[in-house]
Amino acid sequence: MKIALSTGGGDAPGLNAVIRAAVLSAVNRGWEVVGIKKGYAGLLGDDEVIPLTAESVRGIAHLGGTILRTTNRGNPFHYPVYLPDGSCEERDRSDEVIANAKALGIDALISIGGDGSLGIAQRLCEKGMKIVCVPKTIDNDVSGTVTTFGFDTAVSTALDAIDKLHTTAESHDRVIVLEVMGRHAGFIALHSGVAGTADVILIPEIPYDIEKVCDKIRARDKSGRHFSIVVIAEGAFPIGESPSIHGAHKVGEAERLGHVAERLAEAIEGRTRKECRSLVLGHLQRGGQPTSYDRLLAVRFGGAAVRAIAEKKWGHMAALQSPHIVFIPIKQVLGETKRVDPSHDLVLTARATGISFGD
Amino acid sequence: MKIALSTGGGDAPGLNAVIRAAVLSAVNRGWEVVGIKKGYAGLLGDDEVIPLTAESVRGIAHLGGTILRTTNRGNPFHYPVYLPDGSCEERDRSDEVIANAKALGIDALISIGGDGSLGIAQRLCEKGMKIVCVPKTIDNDVSGTVTTFGFDTAVSTALDAIDKLHTTAESHDRVIVLEVMGRHAGFIALHSGVAGTADVILIPEIPYDIEKVCDKIRARDKSGRHFSIVVIAEGAFPIGESPSIHGAHKVGEAERLGHVAERLAEAIEGRTRKECRSLVLGHLQRGGQPTSYDRLLAVRFGGAAVRAIAEKKWGHMAALQSPHIVFIPIKQVLGETKRVDPSHDLVLTARATGISFGD
Amino acid sequence: MKIALSTGGGDAPGLNAVIRAAVLSAVNRGWEVVGIKKGYAGLLGDDEVIPLTAESVRGIAHLGGTILRTTNRGNPFHYPVYLPDGSCEERDRSDEVIANAKALGIDALISIGGDGSLGIAQRLCEKGMKIVCVPKTIDNDVSGTVTTFGFDTAVSTALDAIDKLHTTAESHDRVIVLEVMGRHAGFIALHSGVAGTADVILIPEIPYDIEKVCDKIRARDKSGRHFSIVVIAEGAFPIGESPSIHGAHKVGEAERLGHVAERLAEAIEGRTRKECRSLVLGHLQRGGQPTSYDRLLAVRFGGAAVRAIAEKKWGHMAALQSPHIVFIPIKQVLGETKRVDPSHDLVLTARATGISFGD
Amino acid sequence: MKIALSTGGGDAPGLNAVIRAAVLSAVNRGWEVVGIKKGYAGLLGDDEVIPLTAESVRGIAHLGGTILRTTNRGNPFHYPVYLPDGSCEERDRSDEVIANAKALGIDALISIGGDGSLGIAQRLCEKGMKIVCVPKTIDNDVSGTVTTFGFDTAVSTALDAIDKLHTTAESHDRVIVLEVMGRHAGFIALHSGVAGTADVILIPEIPYDIEKVCDKIRARDKSGRHFSIVVIAEGAFPIGESPSIHGAHKVGEAERLGHVAERLAEAIEGRTRKECRSLVLGHLQRGGQPTSYDRLLAVRFGGAAVRAIAEKKWGHMAALQSPHIVFIPIKQVLGETKRVDPSHDLVLTARATGISFGD
């Protein structure tokens, strides 16, 4: 038996722990393991395929990033090809992927990635490739699983930032707006905001009214609380505007257009005359050591993926349905972005403790 | 409406976040809230009953401990009474508790505590008192809930210790034995040990064979890994011995008898001739700031408890059944210690990656 | 004896530890202590003067921010006065400060603040007020002291960010530019960059050549290191440009003009065709719990300030001249911004290990 | 030019950062570098000598421990030789060390170690070997340098423990005794205790009176503070007893005799009737990632050591004399344990804020 591993999409804390657990589980079964570098690029001659042994994965469980590296541009069905004239076009190179995997003697693949990677895996499975998946999403927006690794670390990093901003906001009587990840789903903003006792939380699932946001800040001011903390998901948008304007930009575009946090801070300062500051947490949320929760979940996913191969669960992904890891068909979750349910107990409790969602 | 809060048993990170969320939720409903200090002692004249307002709970969400203080000796059915001659006897003062709560105009109580507190609450409910509970256990041994606040922080503290010990063990070619909490349930040892890539994990649910433990250490030595990390729950015991000898000691007794970690380190050093060191993590696991996971869960439990009162769920406790908080009758979980299931995927994956349970 | 405390300028981790140590030291001498809120605003009727007792400072040593609050706009010699028509003009209200302090029976003041506060204290001392100072600067740019509290925490926060960005940069083959504080002095960038093994460090003391920066990134790429970390102080600027354009902007202006990090990332991406990302660490550097180093230094400064009063060291500030705390005349350090010496061993070692300063 | 590196004695956070900086500095000069494993064992055939390149030291700066491993039993002047009958005797193998280094073409050695390693280096220098040293001590007891790497991390770990114990002590009305490292010097106890606002600090430099310790605890109890935190250095001892009984035990002996913390906790509980708990922090203080302060200092020491070789400073060690790294003759510091000066400002401030030293 010879299996391969690859990681695709944005990195998330815990990827290396998945890799380590999968490699050790496979090696201890007597299987051979290889790693495909940079998503599928290793299978298309644009990067390497390397052997993975117990030695390769020593001491990596607590490291952020991925030893297999990753990319957002590795969809073999729309693979970027750079032409001699400097331009770039996309080609379907999926058959090459399948042929090259076969040529390398790869019997099965563990694909670790987000919504995009799951879709690719599904299509490759339909063409006969044997793939099991491990879901990966910082934003917690993959359906079918309570959560995935990386999310707890991202929330923890966001909470740490909120704690830091709290003391400085309070000392200076300021409003501070913190922008966190979450283009389509506001889980990071909601979880870190509630844990950090933010005053306002704005998420894509609940369009906000800037006046309601300012009302909350003014009410606090009147009651002697001269500072406020606003946590906003990058995909949040005002009532009446289309999400596409705000949330659905291309990667990197946000940096050029200006972040939502800056625009919100300006709007609040203009309306309340209070000193406002903004901060975009950005890539800090992807990096660093995974929390204990994420390391454990990653290990469980890695071990489960190898069992899934032994059980021939092609086209399935590992999922946490507490307290168990189960395997569910990828088809079931594809295209179903998990989003915050405004009637969830967490939202109710947040409102009950006085947090405003700007609605 | 006037409600009371109390905290009982050993402290756990997150207690203050529960208190804060419950107080704010209640105050925002227009209810009056009081805090009973030191478990039920405040209702028995041995400590205070204090008003709790929005102001009382400002800035406490991230603090460890409990502003209401706590005790392991506050069972009103077996309340310690110190006699003039210095001796101590236990009396049933439950009727006084009920009478004094009534006299103070308390309509309902939120009792935050572990197995002991749940049992007391059930008996007081049977006598007519109106109580809802929030489960609290560092060890994660309360049934009916995926987990409770404090556990993630304890695992995180244990993992941090394992990470620290790893580098020193490796540099010195040593075996290091780390003892963590878990008298009846090995969850802290299992979770931190797997996340920290320990080599041996010993838990009460899987009695161990000291020779098997040493075999693992010797095998590593032979393969060029001259160090090993052993994580042992305080309640773990060798095959053939009775758990009562090891795990079922009184509070504080362990400190006098010598810890299991020291004895295990001596046994390993004697058999393998390798340099061994031991460390007892002890109270570090109870203290400090809760992790983001625990802060959030604590907030959810606090908010849910107030809703439970509004819904008159007397004799129920809040429980996490991911992704929801539900209310379950205390009776259902009483006396049912949750323990590690040796066939759980986490144990399987641990074994698959090469971790020994000494069996 | 009755003394007062005030904090001015941007907040820095450790302020509360200074306050606590000073209050306890004074109270234990039998002195009375008051706190002036918001710099000198409390003495000008724009904010409060509050009594400070042992009880007031309980449990604050590890908290960020300042319980006395602070402001960047409290210079009594140029005090902002808001006119009925909404405009604002500055007036010299220093005599009121002195008179009001006298009226309150304040015998001496401990002023905790940065370069601005030191200057104000010096002028008030010249008018007869009895003041001793505790220097405060995140940037480490106050002369006469090896360092002050807050700097180590800021470096630690920046290093944590670098560690997080490292793993994501490496996984994605990216260049990441991190902007840290340091308008006139590059200590935070230098210390965090060297500790975090950055590849390029840009500071105000060493103007940079964008081509040299890109050369370093290209050289790494050629040697198989496809990612790079660039740490830039907010006041760094290219050779040939004037620092005033970049570094000397007003507070808040940076947010509007765009940060140096974004512009640098764009320039690098344009020249190297490598994927670049930028991050502005901003206020995270001011907030949160002080490190052990800063807590200790803050305590020492607080205790020393009270001894300085007992010794009538008016117009002096506490300073760390390792291993001792000494008192030096404020006059000696006023206007002498401490800056990185390009021939310091740290810069030499940084260069020796391969770090580029873009020169 | 060919140089060698070795690490000896107990590990300290920052060793790998020293190694990395020294290797890169040397390699960039065009020198060849080798690493001697396990102190001098690699030169005596008991372990390896390995080449060290830029590749060998990638990604190690933030890791605890030492990639060269270390030992407390590697003195070549008293080298342990295990005889066929199982016994062990010590022999002088220093001439072999010199001969083998010569045979390997090693021109100079950077020895990183504590007091013991410095003594060995001095004697080998006297026999003609070319050695420069980097001092290493967790306890901060090496003279001639303000501090060394590892100490700040140890203090930080101890402070984190104090913070954690504080909340649990306060919630339970307990006295908690924390034992930290420091056989001859109480710097870790003093620094972490003051930063953590401990109530009692006991260090070898100030013998304590158990009654004075209890007086402090009782006084707190009377004033409504029902808990206390006691930090004790492992080498602290009561007035009238000889330090040798307590502090001067062999490595490992403490674990068998019982720790000073346990005995102190029992004594306090016996006299005050308050519930006491004890904790021995032990090896946690040596492990883990170095703080930013220690990483930076380690890098500076590593870079300086290579410059010392270039300047032929044989028999010298790098030392921090803030803000500079200087080279001082080892002879100057040998045998001069640095100890806490009871008249230092830190001790004065500690007393002024109400901390008792038990005297």
ipTM value, please give it.
0.95
The whole-number pLDDT of residue A250 equals 45
* Pairwise CB contact (< 8 Å): B293 & A295: no
The mean per-residue pLDDT over the stretch B79-95 comes to: 92
Closest chain C residue to the Cα of A163, Cα to Cα: C288
The whole-number pLDDT of residue B244 equals 57
Is the pLDDT at C250 greater than 90? The verdict is no
> Which of A164, A168, A172 is facing C71, going by the closest CB pair?
A172
Is the pLDDT at B257 greater than 90? The verdict is no
The whole-number pLDDT of residue C286 equals 93
Closest chain A residue to the Cα of C286, Cα to Cα: A168
Contact residues on chain D for C195, CB-CB shorter than 8 A: 17, 61, 292, 295-296, 299
The mean per-residue pLDDT over the stretch D326-342 comes to: 95
Is the pLDDT at D108 greater than 60? The verdict is yes
Report whether the peptide linkage leading into residue D323 is cis, meaning its omega lies within 30 degrees of zero.
yes
Query: Comparing A235-244, B212-221, C19-28, D206-215, which segment has the lowest mean pLDDT?
Result: A235-244
CB pairs under 8 A between C and D: 139
Is the pLDDT at A249 greater than 60? The verdict is no
Interface test with A, best of C50, C60, C138, C171 (most A CBs within 10 A): C171
Cβ atoms within 10 Å of A250's Cβ, excluding its own: 7
Largest interatomic CA distance in chain D: 71
Is the pLDDT at B256 greater than 70? The verdict is no
* Pairwise CB contact (< 8 Å): A164 & C284: yes
User: What's the mean per-residue pLDDT of chain B?
Assistant: 94
Interface test with D, best of C142, C321, C349 (most D CBs within 10 A): C349
The whole-number pLDDT of residue B22 equals 98
Are the beta carbons of B189 and B334 closer than 8 angstroms? no
Tell me whether C200 touches chain D (CB under 8 Å): no
The whole-number pLDDT of residue D250 equals 45
Q: Active-site positions of D? A: 139
The whole-number pLDDT of residue A18 equals 98
> Which of A7, A173, A279 is facing C69, going by the closest CB pair?
A173
Are the beta carbons of D319 and D330 closer than 8 angstroms? no
Q: Is the Cα dihedral A194, A196, A202, A205 positive or negative?
A: negative
Give the confidence band of D329 by pLDDT, cuts at 50, 70, 90. very high
Is the pLDDT at D246 greater than 80? The verdict is no
Q: What 8-state DSSP symbol labels residue C289?
A: P
Are the beta carbons of A68 and A88 closer than 8 angstroms? no
Are the beta carbons of B151 and B137 closer than 8 angstroms? yes
The whole-number pLDDT of residue D304 equals 98
Give the confidence band of D256 by pLDDT, cuts at 50, 70, 90. very low
- In 3D space, the residue among A14, A9, A11 whose CA is nearest the CA of residue A297 turns out to be A14
Cβ atoms within 10 Å of A139's Cβ, excluding its own: 30
Give the confidence band of A86 by pLDDT, cuts at 50, 70, 90. confident
The span from the CA of D263 to the CA of D270, in Å, is 11
Cβ atoms within 10 Å of D318's Cβ, excluding its own: 29
Closest chain B residue to the Cα of A307, Cα to Cα: B349
- In 3D space, the residue among C244, A196, A118 whose CA is nearest the CA of residue A188 turns out to be A196
Report whether the peptide linkage leading into residue A323 is cis, meaning its omega lies within 30 degrees of zero.
yes
Residues ≥6 apart with Cβ < 8 Å to A151: A12, A137, A138, A139, A140, A187, A188, A294
The whole-number pLDDT of residue D258 equals 60
The mean per-residue pLDDT over the stretch C244-270 comes to: 68
Is the pLDDT at B3 greater than 50? The verdict is yes
The whole-number pLDDT of residue C82 equals 86
Is the pLDDT at B252 greater than 80? The verdict is no
Give the confidence band of D15 by pLDDT, cuts at 50, 70, 90. very high
Is the pLDDT at C175 greater than 80? The verdict is yes
Chain segment B159-189, per-residue pLDDT in tens: 999 999 999 999 999 999 999 999 999 999 9
Give the confidence band of A258 by pLDDT, cuts at 50, 70, 90. low
The whole-number pLDDT of residue A133 equals 98
Are the beta carbons of D1 and D33 closer than 8 angstroms? no
Tell me whether D143 touches chain C (CB under 8 Å): no
* Pairwise CB contact (< 8 Å): A152 & B292: yes
Domains belonging to chain B, first-starting first, are 2-149+290-322 (3.40.50.450), 151-287+341-352 (3.40.50.460)
Give the confidence band of B37 by pLDDT, cuts at 50, 70, 90. very high
* Pairwise CB contact (< 8 Å): A299 & B155: no
The whole-number pLDDT of residue B145 equals 96
The whole-number pLDDT of residue B258 equals 60
The span from the CA of D197 to the CA of D201, in Å, is 10
Q: Active-site positions of A? A: 139
**In this structure, what are the phi and psi dihedrals at residue C5, rounded to the nearest 5 degrees?**
-125, 145
The whole-number pLDDT of residue C341 equals 98
Give the confidence band of D243 by pLDDT, cuts at 50, 70, 90. confident
> Cα-Cα-Cα-Cα dihedral of D346, D351, D356, D357, to 10°?
50
Chain segment C285-340, per-residue pLDDT in tens: 998 899 999 999 999 999 999 999 999 999 999 999 999 999 999 999 998 899 99
pTM: 0.96
The mean per-residue pLDDT over the stretch C224-251 comes to: 80
The span from the CA of A4 to the CA of A17, in Å, is 16
The whole-number pLDDT of residue C244 equals 58
The span from the CA of C38 to the CA of C48, in Å, is 8
Token couple for D108: 């100079």
Chain segment A304-324, per-residue pLDDT in tens: 999 999 999 999 999 999 999
* Pairwise CB contact (< 8 Å): C171 & A70: yes
The span from the CA of A304 to the CA of C274, in Å, is 37
The whole-number pLDDT of residue C259 equals 79
Is the pLDDT at C253 greater than 60? The verdict is no
Interface test with C, best of A19, A47, A164, A170 (most C CBs within 10 A): A164
Is the pLDDT at D75 greater than 80? The verdict is yes
Contact residues on chain B for A349, CB-CB shorter than 8 A: 21, 25, 299-300, 302-304
The mean per-residue pLDDT over the stretch B259-270 comes to: 94
The whole-number pLDDT of residue A251 equals 43
Is the pLDDT at D244 greater than 90? The verdict is no
Is the pLDDT at A256 greater than 50? The verdict is no
Q: Which of B139, B141, B152, B294 is catalytic?
A: B139
* Pairwise CB contact (< 8 Å): C164 & A278: no
The mean per-residue pLDDT over the stretch C58-78 comes to: 94
* Pairwise CB contact (< 8 Å): C64 & A262: no
Is the pLDDT at B247 greater than 70? The verdict is no
Chain segment C108-128, per-residue pLDDT in tens: 999 999 999 999 999 999 999
The whole-number pLDDT of residue D89 equals 93
Is the pLDDT at C247 greater than 50? The verdict is no
